[in-house]
Amino acid sequence: MENGRLYLVFEYLNVDLKRYLDDSGRKSLLEPGIVKSFMYQMLQGLLFCHGRRVIHRDLKPQNILVDIGRKIVKLADFGLARAFGIPVRVLTHEVVTLWYRAPEILLGAQRYSCAVDIWSMGCIFSEVATKEALFRGDSEIDQLFRIFRLLGTPSEEVWPGVSSLPEYQKKSFPIWRNSKLSIQDNIAKAFNDPGLDLLQAMLIYEPSRRITARDALLHPYFSDLDKALVPATGEEYIGLPLDQLPREVAAMFLADGGEVYHNSNDTENTGKLCLTVQPDTIQLGNAAIPTSKYLSDSKKHSYQTVDTVNSKLSHHMAPLADNHETNMSIS
């Protein structure tokens, strides 16, 4: 703070994602491993935001910063971001750069959720993989037409409630049949089957059925990603279910309230991780990681058998529900 002005100082990153794609040559695709790593990092950042009830609302390649040397990407420009919660409040639909704008916003929805960011992320996913923007509309109606031509004109059968959206009521749209993304030559060339499945899950019309950032991180597309190559931030496991974490990491999250243990008498759950307490990782922030690691190290990761009731691991009691309808927004 100086002379009544607040200055924010951030780390230096070389370029934004759009410039990175342009400079790497539009005719040559990125290596699949780089695409996968970039997407994983962006989804980590998005989960961090959504877990803290923040919708970015302006995700696009120009707002993703890249460290070229270390192949690190980070979300930036939160000028249109909004906090959300209950009760649901009205939001403006004049958000998100046109090419990355979700159909519910284009159709005039004033109440929307984290799903709008997922749609934008799906468009970015396609662009990073193919080096071509998926929907290049020059107006809102042209953008809708481009989406409908590829994914089909939405109806009540595929998107319950769409007919009640303001812009849907005002217009009579041509009826385009749903066509598969894989018929696009550039998409078929750039995506394997798991990648295409994830892309389709991000571009589902009905917001409540669109995949969440958390579930996207757990998608099989990332199953062969070497997590050691993804930069550690201290937040990379925030929001993921404990049974999806490495054993030693789960121990960190439990260090202040319980221990990871193995019950040698439990033959039914042999090899599974059983927990005495089950905090939700999404509620832990930066400070929890080093603190818990210190506590775990001080105990030398001793795993003790304790009397407790085994329970199947699940994701619950999080500040953000998995169902987008529950999280309808917002400020």
For 300, the token pair is 């030398």
- Other CB atoms within 10 A of residue 193 CB: 10
Buried b (16+ CB within 10 A) or exposed e, 9-37: eeeebeebbbebbeeeeeeebbeeeebbb
- Other CB atoms within 10 A of residue 273 CB: 16
Q: Do the Cβ atoms of 272 and 237 come closer than 8 Å?
A: no
Longest CA–CA span in the chain (Å) reads 67
Q: Do the Cβ atoms of 257 and 277 come closer than 8 Å?
A: yes
Bin 42: left if φ > 0, else alpha if -120 < ψ < 50, else beta: alpha
Bin 198: left if φ > 0, else alpha if -120 < ψ < 50, else beta: alpha
Residue (of 192, 36, 60) closest to 133 by Cα position: 60
Look up 266 and say whether it is catalytic.
no
Instruction: Write the DSSP symbol of residue 5.
Output: B
Alpha-carbon torsion angle 112, 93, 146, 322, nearest 10: -10
- Other CB atoms within 10 A of residue 228 CB: 6
Catalytic residue chosen out of the listed positions 58, 117, 142, 256: 58
Angle at 152 between CA 211 and CA 158, to 5 degrees: 55
The set of catalytic residues is: 58
